[in-house]
């Protein structure tokens, strides 16, 4: 999702409320507006671990991404998909984030 604030807002509104809108929306964890309601979605796909100043901040970004779909008004089961390349630094970071998530 790119463009000006107004074009992003229009795209999000179309995605959320219009039946003929695209059924997939690609968002950056770093640049997407907080508070966005995406109950039209029920799948969250995380393609890499979030890089942030602290592990707690990275986990908070991921929780926020899931929270955009898991809101009042969501009527479908939510699916979280996480892609990880095995035997890489990415795997280690993801495992650390998962431990942090389970502790919350």
Count up the domains in the chain and report the number.
Answer: 1
| The pair of three-digit structure tokens given for residue 56, joined into one six-digit string | 């707690």
Model-level pTM? 0.76
Residues in the chain: 104
CB atoms within 10 A of CB 101: 12
Structural domain range at position 59: 5-103
Pair 18, 26: CB distance under 8 Å = no
Q: Are 63 and 101 in contact (CB under 8 A)?
A: yes
Predicted confidence at residue 56, as pLDDT, reads 87
pLDDT in tens, the chain (104 residues): 778 888 888 888 898 999 888 888 888 776 665 678 889 999 999 888 888 888 888 888 888 888 889 999 899 999 999 999 999 999 999 998 888 877 77
CATH number, position 40: 3.40.50.300
The helix (run of H) or strand (run of E) holding residue 64 is helix 55-69
- Tell whether the torsion through CA atoms of 67, 47, 22 and 5 is positive or negative: positive
Burial of 30 (0-12, 13-18, 19+ CB in 10 A): exposed
- Write down the pLDDT at residue 78: 94
């Amino acid at each position: 999702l790119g463009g000006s604030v107004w074009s992003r807002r229009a795209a999000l509104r179309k995605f959320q409320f219009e039946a003929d809108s695209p059924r997939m929306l690609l968002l950056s964890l770093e640049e997407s507006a907080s508070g966005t309601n995406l109950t039209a979605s029920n799948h969250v796909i995380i393609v890499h671990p979030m890089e942030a100043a602290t592990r707690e901040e990275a986990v908070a970004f991921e929780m926020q991404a899931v929270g955009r779909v898991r809101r009042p008004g969501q009527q479908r089961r939510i699916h979280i998909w996480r892609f990880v390349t095995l035997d890489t630094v990415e795997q280690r970071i993801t495992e650390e984030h998962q431990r942090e998530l389970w502790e919350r």
